[in-house]
Structure 1
């Protein structure tokens, strides 16, 4: 069937502004996402289930509402069931100082515990200091002192009496007491002692030794008495401190009686206060010096409030901006003191997992994976069900400072990763633990159906988000133009892009234009200007290409006829903007061994998909024209004046047209450009970027002057994808530009050459396929080695009047 000429109504499907009357406020317009029921159901399931391992990966393109979808589902879940979150604190463990204890308290009571402990320490300071300054304590200590003194003196009195009885005296020396002989109440000088008779001296020496031994025993007894005295004073202090501490802690114990682990820690606090009562006796002056500060350090009784669930530090959903290892699982800081790095439980800092514990954690997958050790730490926490604050330096043996081992905190969190489908696929393929943890994948589509309800929902969402961003209200016409742009972004008139953020970006720019015009609403003209401005900002390369064509640097014909030369169309992408360009495709053919040379591939400037397309052309030619004869064609294809990589098969329809034109010596009208791919049976197949390609050729023809003989040939399957600009539609409506939809290569040939395609099994000079068949048959006879005269005779016999073929 012949190629079909497209009508202006088929070139763009415009949205009806009358159906987009949106009233503010919008109760349901701030929906998280539009037109993605499958992904929304997956997210709702993951958020609502409490089963382990059912964490969520939201896969989709940027700007498609991945984060908003999770937020919406979490808010709905919280409205139905609420969120139970707790405070977490770290406190000192008196038995093992390097292993702080983690305590869980109901929301709001962590800060209260910290305040209560501060008050308790102040009260204990006052009570214990007052206690030790009391008359009762002083009287009891004096009684113990007097008892000790009496017992100690009595022992020495007994020794003194014995010494006096035996003619000896007790003498105090710088190092203690000793025994010496005496005479007339005075210590006997050494020379007098030496002058005594030997028997008397011996008796005195014996007496001195015995009394000295008795004195040593008395001194030892005195030391034991001192120890007993210290023990009794210490026990007095402990007993009185215990009474004071228990009295001071009565209220705090009663207040936290419902928390057994907190009560157990209070027991250790009380025991430590009793053991270190002197720390509470230090005055402010005592704490001024370094030694006094060390002696009276009461920081071990403080409470490190790691997470306050009532202070906005988390949930129900925490979004990770920088999911590094320390930001994720927490860290332990150090302080420099006396030239050393020291730490304690007060320097433990919580991470994102602590903040999200009991709620939901939303993380960008790429940010997480690009942070060293963060992905492994997250998996470890989820698999263990607890948060371990780990030091990377200690793990790798690179730390020489004191390290803490905080008690792990039980983890109950729902993690949602957001990323592209490629990242999700890589994790599924290369991380065996990924599927164990992230069993729910919400796959957001790139586009959505353009149904009437979807269009209204999208318009309402755009209105709501524009209102939330402080933009002027868009008119119905502006919304219609924005939605039309969304269909163009989706490359399908029956679908809409799911990247709502990019549509909102257009409204942001349109708002700027409207405000510059001092308007109170965004109109359709402002949306058109914003879209045109975006195209113009990214148009430097397009302008250079058009200028090169206009100056004849890039040789493109848009009039006349040429053999083996067809205008192909390509698409360039600059950031988020795309534009079409025209490329001359040329083909040469000759006798050979059944091969079509792809010059781009031979020069390593063609990709695998393009090479595949050229191989399909070779298969088509051999199957259609050389079923019963050798395929003796040698052809070559090239994209003229291209110096970079060429990839894709969207020009294979044009390439095949150029080859057939060259084989049959059939001129091709240069006013046409061709886009589309082709299969082995000659069927035209849809390609991408059809709008940009058509507009690129239209701009070139318009610059040279539209004369009604120019146009673009495209596959019939691409008609539904058309969302062309208004100027292109107007030119078609005025008959100055044409679009033809084709289903096969034969229809393309008829438009390009003005000749019937014909039957490839019939040699007919009046058809394109007949001329091609004649040339290929002559190549086949050369291949078989038949003489020239026989070849000419065979060709003449093969053609009957009217173009019918004699079957040999």
Structure 2
């Protein structure tokens, strides 16, 4: 274990720009590969090339790593090698109109088929009307009608002859026929009929009744004759319509003979047109023009073709990124239109969503947006599990459906779905949804950093060249490239790592070019990159400046000179959007007689998180391990972050709190010019923390504004040294000896830096080194213990003395009833008895 004061050369990764094999990016070729994402790319490859069920991909990784563009480019390469998927159409179902039929056709043939059907119906309108208006049809129809009329005349003639035989006459009426008796060639009136003899009247009545039977039979025969000839006319119409329709439909069937579903649909069209040929002849003519036009539009709609997926413009498989995956955008919708005050729908109103449009290819979805929209996640899982898509009316799911809807036939699905989201979303879905990992069997996790090697640095330079070409930026000098690489280290927070958050890199390239343009420079140099970085900070550091101002005006007390007992400067990081900065926090510790009780005032106030609380409990473990082997740890203490009123979490200040406690117990003052960060374990080992660069720079700014003394600095864990990528101002101050950075491994090292005194070691007799901090701590705890024991003994003696002294005489309580009162009471009782 040792203490190391870091030199300026250790404060960031060093490159010699002159060693780059180029002077400007004009000499470079643009990057045509992907940096540092081998793991994710292998996962993508597996998911995309596996044909088994459920090999959809969930993409995780930090934002701005370029994963979306990487995925899109990868999918485009795969899509270019695949066949273009079929078009999909919905057509009228002549057997069940609420269940539109789905037809699949080769890419680009959907629109062709729609045009063929439209042309067919237009042609049939003309040809059917022409056929039914032809002389041949009229002659056939006339022949049937003549035959009908001839047979009707013959039947009526036979009826009249029977009437004459019975001396009767039949006369047609609106209700049929009237039978009139005849005598002497003249119709018999009612008066004349009454004047006849009884026998004559009965004879005439019998004849009339017999004739009425004949009339009824003839009328029935006439009706049967009419029906038979009506069927003949219908058969004629059917034969004529079939002759016309079949020849045109058969031509189209020949075109689509390889598509069985299409030919079956064409056969249904043929049957329906023949069955409704009357509508083609005169159904749209006559009076009531608007009504007829509306009827024609409604009737003819059944012969339309709704092309819901048109891949005529595609070359290869589709790649779709659905940025707004609502239920209708993803699954599809069934639209409605108003008719006479209500809403109706039909198969032509079915619209495809991105899931169907991406069928046969690849669909990308944002996980957060998917989960934010109701019903979407369940509908997606159901579709992928069943390998088919059923377009539903969203109003049914919301329970707001007020009209009958459609149930379109489902369409088979064959695509890869890639959902892009956070790791937390992936873990939560994996944990709480047992079907999730069966549907998304591949996770592609994009890294946010990569190793900084000569190869990756050159790839960074080539990436810069690619952005320059895409954004049409001026060339960058190698010094500018070096600063961008350093910025990549800063984003990664490590000297040995480069950030893969290319969104941030691209923004810095654009802004560097902007400032170069402002200075009329033809190339972007290192100073322009530094200018862009400074301006970025200036746009975001208002809160930091407000805190700095409060410290300068002593509204927030931060001491950076001298030494104090039980007081120390801790460091924390504040993240404000895409900007983070460090600030000091004053920690004070007070110790007193007690029984191993460590009180965090902030925890009592409910201002700490669980991780910070854990760090506080570790301190108790350290004290018991270090000092409890030979005697009980007998003290109580309180700790607090002074002037801190917001939530505190993390364990990076646990070592700082420990130093404050040890200072308070030992009475050894801590140098206030040294701020501390680092977590500690029960063994007293200092452990790495996050945000080390921001913390150092934040404290440096405070010291710079209050005045650098040459004794100020920051103490960090040794394991964080490789994370240092500090600003030039800090590096210059360290090089000039005005500011210092120490790396330590243990609490013992830290105490020596902070106090100038040795922590101390136990000798063979179990005693700490004389005059050491630990010796003073142990001595203080011994005194606390003795005083506590003396206090307990004094309290015990006092209690014992009180117990031995005689108790003072007690005054007898007054009787309830004095003697005189008792006599009166007895007399009262006797009187009561006598009364009873």
Q: Do they superpose with TM above 0.5?
A: yes
* Cα distance, 1:725 vs structure 2: 0.3
Aligned equivalent of 2:526, options 524, 527, 532: 524
Structure 2 residue 342 is matched with structure 1 residue 349: no
Aligned equivalent of 1:376, options 375, 378, 382: 378
Contact 1:609/1:649 (8 A) holds in 2: yes
Q: 1:263 matched to which residue of 2?
A: 263
Structure 2 residue 778 is matched with structure 1 residue 773: yes
Q: Please give the per-residue CA displacement for 1:629-660, whole angstroms capped at 9, x wherever unaligned.
A: 12112122111111111111111222111111
Q: How many residues align?
A: 786
Secondary structure of the structure 1 residue equivalent to 2:598: strand
Q: 2:456 matched to which residue of 1?
A: 454
What does residue range 782-793 of structure 1 map to in structure 2 within 5 Å? 782-783=787-788, 785=790
What does residue range 136-147 of structure 1 map to in structure 2 within 5 Å? 136-147=136-147
Change over 3 Å in CA distance of 1:24–1:440 after alignment to 2: farther
Secondary structure of the structure 2 residue equivalent to 1:318: strand
Secondary structure of the structure 1 residue equivalent to 2:716: strand
Secondary structure of the structure 1 residue equivalent to 2:360: coil
Contact 1:653/1:675 (8 A) holds in 2: yes
Partner Cα distance (2:290, 2:175) in 1:
34
Q: 2:540 matched to which residue of 1?
A: 538
Partner Cα distance (1:16, 1:83) in 2:
50
* Cα distance, 1:209 vs structure 2: 1.7
Q: Please give the per-residue CA displacement for 1:376-409, whole angstroms capped at 9, x wherever unaligned.
A: 0000001111001123443576434122111110
Secondary structure of the structure 2 residue equivalent to 1:298: helix
Partner Cα distance (1:292, 1:548) in 2:
80
Change over 3 Å in CA distance of 1:371–1:681 after alignment to 2: same
Contact 2:651/2:679 (8 A) holds in 1: yes
Q: 2:759 matched to which residue of 1?
A: 757
Contact 1:307/1:313 (8 A) holds in 2: no
* Cα distance, 1:507 vs structure 2: 2.1
Contact 1:706/1:737 (8 A) holds in 2: yes
Q: Please give the per-residue CA displacement for 1:428-453, whole angstroms capped at 9, x wherever unaligned.
A: 00000011111111112222211222
Secondary structure of the structure 2 residue equivalent to 1:289: helix
Contact 1:20/1:459 (8 A) holds in 2: no
* Cα distance, 1:415 vs structure 2: 0.6
What does residue range 391-470 of structure 1 map to in structure 2 within 5 Å? 391-394=393-396, 398-470=400-472
The answer to which of 347-356 and 327-336 deviates more is: 327-336
Q: 1:63 matched to which residue of 2?
A: 64
Contact 1:43/1:69 (8 A) holds in 2: no
Partner Cα distance (2:340, 2:27) in 1:
63
The answer to which of 563-572 and 502-511 deviates more is: 502-511
Partner Cα distance (2:650, 2:738) in 1:
31
Aligned equivalent of 1:554, options 546, 553, 556: 556
* Cα distance, 1:216 vs structure 2: 1.8
* Cα distance, 1:607 vs structure 2: 1.5
Unaligned runs of 5+ in 1: 789-808
What does residue range 498-517 of structure 1 map to in structure 2 within 5 Å? 498-517=500-519
Partner Cα distance (1:441, 1:766) in 2:
59
Partner Cα distance (1:72, 1:295) in 2:
50
TM-score norm. by structure 1 comes to 0.93
Structure 2 residue 662 is matched with structure 1 residue 660: yes
Q: 1:805 matched to which residue of 2?
A: none
Q: 1:252 matched to which residue of 2?
A: 252
Partner Cα distance (1:231, 1:295) in 2:
26
Partner Cα distance (1:442, 1:661) in 2:
50
Partner Cα distance (2:45, 2:504) in 1:
25
Q: 1:51 matched to which residue of 2?
A: 52
The answer to which of 757-766 and 729-738 deviates more is: 757-766
Change over 3 Å in CA distance of 1:361–1:313 after alignment to 2: farther
Partner Cα distance (1:73, 1:561) in 2:
61
The answer to which of 110-119 and 559-568 deviates more is: 559-568
Partner Cα distance (1:388, 1:116) in 2:
27
* Cα distance, 1:311 vs structure 2: 3.4
* Cα distance, 1:178 vs structure 2: 1.2
Change over 3 Å in CA distance of 1:231–1:519 after alignment to 2: farther
TM-score norm. by structure 2 comes to 0.90
* Cα distance, 1:201 vs structure 2: 2.3
Contact 1:83/1:316 (8 A) holds in 2: no
Contact 2:84/2:311 (8 A) holds in 1: no
Change over 3 Å in CA distance of 1:683–1:334 after alignment to 2: same
Structure 2 residue 112 is matched with structure 1 residue 112: yes
* Cα distance, 1:76 vs structure 2: 3.0
Partner Cα distance (2:329, 2:636) in 1:
65
What does residue range 76-225 of structure 1 map to in structure 2 within 5 Å? 76-79=77-80, 81-183=81-183, 185-225=185-225
Partner Cα distance (2:40, 2:455) in 1:
18
